[in-house]
């Protein structure tokens, strides 16, 4: 994940980003960026940092490697759907689906239907 490379990042705003619709996104970002002081204009409190650490140590949270794998699989599925589109309308529908749904929560299958 590109954010993982910014380990010294102290302030981050993700408001209106689709990632904020994901469950536990705040805990994920806090755990991912250990130096983060402010997220979405709210201070990261020690209790939150501790909760994020416990959540990710517990095994309840998805592993970073699994997220990367899912993202790569989704990219491949999206590319295949675009290549298999036979009309401009199908391409436009795929584009709209990508705008409407966060990439982390659904992938486009070859039939261009969004899956949860």
pLDDT of the chain along its 116 residues, tens only?
577 788 899 999 999 888 888 778 899 899 889 899 999 999 999 999 999 888 878 766 555 565 556 567 777 887 888 888 889 888 888 888 777 765 544 433 333 343 33
Given phi > 0 = left and psi -120 to 50 = alpha, else beta, which region is 7? alpha
Q: Is residue 31 a contact partner of residue 64, using CB atoms and an 8 Å limit?
A: no
Q: What is the pLDDT of residue 61?
A: 57
Q: What is the pLDDT of residue 64?
A: 57
CA angle, corner 81, sides to 107 and 2, nearest 5?
50
Q: What is the pLDDT of residue 49?
A: 94
Q: Is residue 50 a contact partner of residue 25, using CB atoms and an 8 Å limit?
A: no
How do the domains of the chain map onto residue ranges? 2-61, 65-115
Read off the pTM.
0.53
Q: What is the pLDDT of residue 69?
A: 60
Q: What is the pLDDT of residue 73?
A: 74
């Amino acid at each position: 994940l590109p954010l993982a490379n910014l380990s010294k990042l102290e302030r981050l705003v993700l408001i209106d980003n689709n990632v904020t619709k994901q469950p536990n996104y705040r805990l994920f970002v806090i755990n991912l960026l250990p130096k983060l002081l402010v997220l979405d204009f709210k201070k990261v409190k020690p209790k939150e940092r501790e909760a994020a650490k416990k959540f990710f140590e517990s095994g309840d949270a998805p592993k970073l490697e699994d997220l990367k794998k899912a993202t790569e699989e989704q990219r491949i599925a999206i590319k295949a759907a675009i290549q298999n589109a036979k009309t401009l309308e199908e391409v436009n529908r795929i584009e709209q689906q990508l705008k409407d749904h966060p990439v982390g929560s659904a992938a486009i299958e070859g039939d261009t239907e969004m899956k949860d």
